[in-house]
C-alpha cells in the first residue's frame, strides 16, 4: 500500500466550477498535510497546509482534514484557467521528510 494516494485524474472542470481533489494516507502517525501546485516544467509551490481536523480556507482554496478516515482534500472554488496544473498531496510524520502522492492533473476549460 502506498503511503499517500490521490485520485488518478486527470480532472477536467469548466471555468467557474469547483474542483475537488482527494488524498488518503496510510500512516495514522501522520501529523501535517500539505497541498502543492506544480505547473508543467516548474517546481512545486505550496498552496495550503493543514494540521488539525476540519476545514481551512485561504481565498478560493479550502483544505479539509479527517484524521479518523485518514483523508485530506482540496477544494478549488471558482476555478480559473490559471489553476490548470498538477496538485500534489504531501504528508509529514514529524520525521523530517514529506511523502508525496503521485499528483492529480487538473485542467480548467474555458
Partner 1 sequence: KAGVTQTPRYLIKTRGQQVTLSCSPISGHRSVSWYQQTPGQGLQFLFEYFSETQRNKGNFPGRFSGRQFSNSRSEMNVSTLELGDSALYLCASSTGTGGTEAFFGQGTRLTVV
The contact pattern for partner 1, residues 20-39, with x = CB under 8 A and - = no contact, is -----------xx-x-x---
φ/ψ of residue 74, rounded to 5? -135, 125
Question: What's the CA angle centered on 61, arms 33 and 9, to 5 degrees?
Answer: 75
Should residue 108 be labelled a site residue for partner 1 when binding is judged by CB under 8 A? Answer: no
Q: Which of 46, 66, 77, 109 touches partner 1 (CB under 8 A)? A: 46
**Minimum distance between the CB of residue 109 and partner 1, rounded to whole angstroms?**
24
Should residue 57 be labelled a site residue for partner 1 when binding is judged by CB under 8 A? Answer: no
Should residue 53 be labelled a site residue for partner 1 when binding is judged by CB under 8 A? Answer: no
Q: Which of 88, 104, 106, 108 touches partner 1 (CB under 8 A)? A: 88
CB atoms under 10 Å from CB of 96, counted, come to 6
For residues 80 and 63, give the distance between their C-alpha atoms in angstroms, rounded to a whole number.
18
3 and 55 in contact (C-beta within 8 Å)? Answer: no
Location of C-alpha cell 502522492: 101
5 or 71: whose CB is closer to partner 1?
5
14 or 39: whose CB is closer to partner 1?
39
Amino acid at each position: 500500500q502506498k503511503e499517500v494516494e490521490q485520485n488518478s485524474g486527470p480532472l477536467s472542470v469548466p471555468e467557474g466550477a469547483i474542483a475537488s481533489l482527494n488524498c488518503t494516507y496510510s500512516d495514522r502517525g501522520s501529523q501535517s498535510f500539505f497541498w502543492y501546485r506544480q505547473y508543467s516544467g516548474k517546481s512545486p509551490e505550496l498552496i495550503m497546509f493543514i494540521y488539525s481536523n476540519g476545514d481551512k480556507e485561504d481565498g478560493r482554496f479550502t483544505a479539509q482534514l479527517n484524521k479518523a478516515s485518514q483523508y485530506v482534500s482540496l477544494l478549488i472554488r471558482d476555478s480559473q484557467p490559471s489553476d490548470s496544473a498538477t496538485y500534489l498531496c504531501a504528508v509529514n510524520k514529524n520525521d523530517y521528510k514529506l511523502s508525496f502522492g503521485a499528483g492529480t492533473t487538473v485542467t480548467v476549460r474555458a
